[in-house]
Amino acid sequence: MKKIKYYYNTHTLRYEKLITPLRVKLLRVFGFISAALVTSAIIIWLYTKFVPKAVDRESALKYELMKDNYTVLNRKVKTLQQQITDLEKRDNEVYRSILKQRRLAIVPVQKPLSKKRARKN
């Protein structure tokens, strides 16, 4: 049951019922709804900002796995390069011993990736 509110009217010296106008009721409802919307927007923004999604966690895990795979692959490439240089040194020694030539300094040959020609104007 709704509680009835009264106020004291000093002109009539009587207690009268307090009647809230429709405009005040609508303003209260609108104020409540707008406060609820603003609060929910802030909560949603904070949630999306600070709580990671499952997709983000999965992609971070895949990134770490791929990074580990690349480090292993780089180590294997370095060992293969070292084995190739050792093989090249042994091969040169074998040919020199067969052909009985004196030892030359081994200079690694690096081929340029692309040749760029300078423009002549």
pLDDT in tens, 34-64: 999 999 999 999 999 999 888 888 999 999 9
For residue 102, the model assigns a pLDDT of 61
Interatomic CA distance for residues 43 and 36, integer angstroms: 10
- Can you list the alpha helix ranges (DSSP code H) found in 51-121? 54-99
Q: Give ∠ CA 112-79-107 in degrees, rounded to 5.
A: 40
Which phi-psi region, left, alpha or beta, contains residue 15 (left: φ > 0; alpha: ψ -120 to 50)?
beta
- pLDDT at residue 71 is higher than 70: yes
- pLDDT at residue 120 is higher than 80: no
Choice between 121 and 4, residue whose per-residue pLDDT is larger: 4
The answer, as to whether pTM is greater than 0.85, is no
Q: What amino acid is encoded at 114 in this protein?
A: S
Query: Does residue 96 contact residue 103 with C-beta atoms inside 8 Å?
Result: yes
Interatomic CA distance for residues 22 and 4, integer angstroms: 17
